[in-house]
A = this chain, B = another copy of it.
Amino acid sequence: MREIEALWEEARELSLGTSGGVERLDSPPTPLQFLRDFVSPNKPCVISNATLHWPALSSWSHDSYLTRALSSAHVSLHLTPNGRADAAVPINSDDPSTLCFASAHALRMPFPEALNLIVNPHSTNFVAYAQQQNDCFRSEYSALAQDCDAHIPWATDALGCLPEAVNLWVGNHLSETSFHKDHYENLYAVVSGEKHFLLLPPTDVHRMYIRNYPAARYSYSQDTGKFTLESEKPMRCVPWCSVDPYPSPEAKHSAMSRFPLYFNGPKPFECTIKAGEILYLPSMWFHHVRQSPDAAGRTIAINYWYDMQFDIKYAYFNFLQSVPYQSTHNPTLPGTMSDDLDSDSDCDSFAYGCKDKLGADESVTNLPNASAKEE
């Protein structure tokens, strides 16, 4: 549909840039600059030298500091077989085409034990990621409060409120977060290691092939050292992005033919956030996250979620999402909104009151919880 493709191009040409890069600031903006140049136009940026005054930037390099400060803290640890939690994955290996939305096996344990599992992935059958998007930095990790700012001052002034949630993330190079969006303005500060983001603006929603997937959860057995994937009962559907931007070489051809709007469209915005830098990740932007570890094998970050405004931009987004994509350029392409991934999920006809398969994307319109809270 050429109108939708024109929108992708125009958003880039007018405002977001066509290079695929993300604008960089050498120092924090004033609240007015931040609001005018980035929040209002819904445009990401990377701010260098943003947190150099945080004690965390040096003290968290040492496992010994963290394990001492958090010696008595119990934290949530998420286990997966491959680092891919909260993603659309095959529900069993015999049938790679039947996908589900898989959550991690969540455990609570003392932080020193959790850190040991994170930094020694080769001694286990799983990938461990300490992450819980429930304001955990101000609860489970409150012993570290004095090492960072409780909020980002220029963002708080610009947005007119304190963060709704502050989350800590401690992982290794094996964890990745699949494409999704959040209904928050996100200030993402890396403390140790690096995070690699792929970003796609909300105008590009059709390129994400959002579909309803039945929810399932990994269960790890210490006895067998194996994971099983168990569907939730009663069945619950989760609308989620279908695109894996980094398919394995053998899966690449299939991915490109199933998701042509993603692979053949404008390339996503790409940036790497290093320790001391902050990414402003605007509300409603789709993002995919990978990470590189520091010398001690960890990537540590804190993100600040501020309430977004549900304004005319959000209404436009919902309208866009309600318009089905129908390719007029190349009718032989399989990449239309309605025919693609129906076979992946029995969910579409149940979920959220959507009435038919064609309505896959309508089913997520107007649902503020249409995307889970994620990185």
What is A's interface to B at a CB cutoff of 8 Å?
Answer: 3-4, 6-7, 10-11, 14-16, 31-33, 35-36, 39-43, 157-160, 201-203, 309-320, 322-323, 366
Q: Which of B31, B43, B315, B318 contacts A15 (CB 8 A)?
A: B315
Sample of 17 further A-B pairs with CB below 8 A, known A7-B315, A32-B35, A40-B311: A4-B319, A6-B318, A14-B314, A31-B32, A33-B160, A35-B36, A36-B159, A36-B309, A41-B309, A41-B311, A41-B313, A42-B312, A202-B312, A203-B316, A313-B313, A313-B316, A316-B317
What are the nearest 3 A-B pairs in CB distance?
A41-B311, A40-B40, A316-B316
A-B contact pairs, 10 of them (CB 8 A): A3-B322, A6-B322, A10-B319, A14-B310, A15-B310, A36-B309, A40-B40, A43-B312, A201-B312, A319-B320
B41 and A312 contacting across the interface, CB-CB below 8 Å: yes
Given A40-B309, A314-B14, verify A319-B160 contact (CB < 8 Å). no
A315 and B10 contacting across the interface, CB-CB below 8 Å: yes
- Could you tell me the distance in whole angstroms from the C-beta of A367 to the nearest C-beta in chain B? 13
Residues from chain B with a CB closer than 8 A to the CB of A11 are 312, 315
Interface centre among A14, A15, A158, A316 (most CB of B within 10 A): A316
B3 and A319 contacting across the interface, CB-CB below 8 Å: yes
